[in-house]
Amino acid sequence: MDTSQVEYNGQLRTTATHIRSGNTLITDAPVDNHGRGEAFSPTDLLATSLASCMISIMAIAAEGHQFELRRVSADVVKTMSPNPRKVSKVQVDLYFPEGNYSKKQQEILKRAALSCPVSLSLHPDLEQEVNFKF
């Protein structure tokens, strides 16, 4: 089954539809690459998907070890390199404001985050800096 369908809307904008749910999102080329920058760029989605994947996998790991992953948020910073134009670094700062995780639980969460499928799928040349703020 297809994952998504992506249509070009003109003016460097696309609409992507998730086949199973029907949810949609738009992308724009960034301002520094001829676009309007009014929505996530495709490379923004790449960086953002890393953080989303890490949080999801941490929640699965916590559930499997019988503890609750409480509110977690992530700040994501994407760095582009100019030639060739590509994402050279993604920094993910993970915040656990309702902490009180034991050292063992912290290690479970760190291991889960760093082994998420998106992280493992990215090219090894792409630097992934992940900071855990317990």
pLDDT tens-digit series, residues 22-77: 999 999 999 999 999 999 999 999 999 999 999 999 999 999 999 999 999 999 99
Asked if 39 contacts 45 with a C-beta cutoff of 8 angstroms, the reply is no
For the segment 101-119, the average pLDDT, to the nearest whole number, is 97
| pLDDT tens, residue by residue, 69-98 | 999 999 999 999 999 999 999 999 999 998
The residue ranges of every structural domain in the chain are 4-33, 42-133
Span 42-133: which CATH code? Answer: 3.30.300.20
Q: Is the peptide bond before 84 cis (omega within 30 degrees of 0)?
A: yes
For the segment 113-127, the average pLDDT, to the nearest whole number, is 97
Supply the pLDDT for residue 98. Answer: 81
Whether pLDDT at 99 is above 80: no
> Which amino acid is located at 105 in the chain?
Q
Whether pLDDT at 105 is above 80: yes
The model's confidence at residue 1, banded by pLDDT at 50, 70 and 90, is confident
104-118 CB burial, b ≥16 within 10 A, e <16? ebeebbbebbeebeb
For the segment 9-23, the average pLDDT, to the nearest whole number, is 97
